[in-house]
Amino acid sequence: MEKLEGVVCPKATKRTIQIDRDRHLCSEYIDFINHCCRPNARLQVEGGGIVLIAIEEIGRDRDEVTIDYNCSEYSLAESFSCRCCEPPRLIAGYSYLLETGQGDYLSRIARFVLPHLLSISSESLSNN
């Protein structure tokens, strides 16, 4: 488990992790955390901060640390196509999964999604 520290910004950028509705953490660690649709780590809100937790063993010499970016951002500042799936999947944030009705993906990642993303999405759905 590793606590991520850094500067809190009001808007998402390519190098932030959303820690609340309008709060995004910019940290030097983020450049070393890559996306994977089947990640080896997850994020967890803890005491007003974010911790990175391994969900499987991560090797010291070879393995990169990966999280599913769809579980850490409501809407990514820059979407992209992943390289871990065939065919590649669009990674755009949790809201994109809801908008496109990707139920199988949503059920697989449900335990990894940060609580504030669920809150934002339920508010968004009730306003429609």
Contact indicator for 17, 11 with CB cutoff of 8 Å: no
Calpha distance 65→1 (Å, rounded): 12
Write down the pTM of the prediction.
0.87
Calpha distance 10→6 (Å, rounded): 13
| CA-angle at 115, arms to 43 and 48, nearest 5° | 65
Say which residues have a Cβ less than 8 Å from residue 111's Cβ, sequence separation at least 6: none
Task: Match 């339920």 to its residue by tokens.
Answer: 122
Contact indicator for 16, 25 with CB cutoff of 8 Å: yes
What is the structure's pLDDT at 93?
A: 94
What is the structure's pLDDT at 66?
A: 94
Where the chain has pLDDT below 70, the residues are 124-126, 128
What is the structure's pLDDT at 2?
A: 79
Calpha distance 68→59 (Å, rounded): 18
What is the structure's pLDDT at 128?
A: 61
